[in-house]
Every structure is written in structure tokens, then in C-alpha cells.
Structure 1
Amino acid sequence: MTSAYILIQTEVGKAAHVTEEVAQIQGVVSVDGVTGPYDVIARAEAPDLDELARNVVMKIQAVDGVTRTLTCPVLRV
């Protein structure tokens, strides 16, 4: 199983809407609002990195109000 944190920037005033929509995406384990350069952080899981990119990250990027994402895969060290 591959896990990643996805940092999400939103349009002004859209963070709550984006949080609600992202929480409904299959593969998203948790979603929280944060402060700093990003507005929302999501933790997601998928069988592999390709599946994570196709079925989770691309769906997050398509949510109305999302302006930018940064995906940080979790490493097992």
C-alpha cells in the first residue's frame, strides 16, 4: 500500500468546500484545514503510486476551488 500527503491550495473562501469534497474521494483517509502556504492537507492511500496519481490526486485537482497541489509520498525508512 502506498500512502501520501497531498497539500492543497484553494481559491480564497473555498477551503471548507474543498475539504468537504476531497473527503468524499475514494482513497482519501483524512482531510484537515491547515495554516501556511497551503489551505488543506489530505492523507491518501492506494495500492501503488500510479493508482494514487490516477484515482486520487487527479480527482483532487479536479475539485472546484483547488488551485494547486503538492503530493508527498510517504517513505518507509
Structure 2
Amino acid sequence: MVHAYILIQTEVGQAATVAGKIAQIEGVTTAEDVTGPYDVIVRAEAENVDLLGQLVVARIQNVDGITRTLTCPVVHL
């Protein structure tokens, strides 16, 4: 199982709406609106890196109100 944090910037005033929509997507374990340079932080999981990429590109980035994402895969050193 691969986990990642996805940092999301949204259009002004859209953070709570975007977080709510993303929280409903299968593979997303948490989605919270936050303050700072990013508006929403998501924790997601998938069986492998390819499926994680598909989750981000095909499902999460298609949510209305998102302007930019940054995916940070979790590594265990």
C-alpha cells in the first residue's frame, strides 16, 4: 500500500467545498481545509504508485475549485 499527502491550492473561498468533495473520493482517507500556503491537505492511499497517480490526476485534480496540487508520497527510510 502506498500513502501520500496531497497539498492543494484552491480558488478563493473554495477550501471547505473542495475538501468536502475530495473526502468522498475512494482512496482518500482524510481531507481537511487548513491555513497557510495550501488550502486543503489530503491523505490518500492506493495499492501502488501508478494507482496513486491515477487517483490524483483522474479524480482529485478534476474537482472544481482546485488551482494546483503537490503530491508528497510517504517513504519509509
TM-score bracket relative to the smaller structure: over 0.9
State the partner residue of 1:45.
45
Query: Which residue type is aligned with residue 37 of structure 2?
Result: P
State the partner residue of 1:36.
36
**Structure 2: segments with no counterpart, 5+ residues:** none
How far apart are the structure 2 equivalents of 1:11 and 1:73? Answer: 24
SS in 2 for 1:63: coil
C-alpha RMSD of matched pairs (Å):
0.6
**Structure 1: segments with no counterpart, 5+ residues:** none
TM-score by length of 2: 0.95
TM-score by length of 1: 0.95
Question: 2:69 aligned with 1:57, yes or no?
Answer: no
Deviating above 2 A after TM superposition, structure 1's stretches of 4 or more consecutive aligned residues are none
State the partner residue of 2:15.
15
Q: Aligned residues: percent identity? A: 62
How far apart are the structure 1 equivalents of 2:76 and 2:69? Answer: 22
Query: Which residue type is aligned with residue 74 of structure 1?
Result: V
How far apart are the structure 2 equivalents of 1:36 and 1:15? Answer: 12
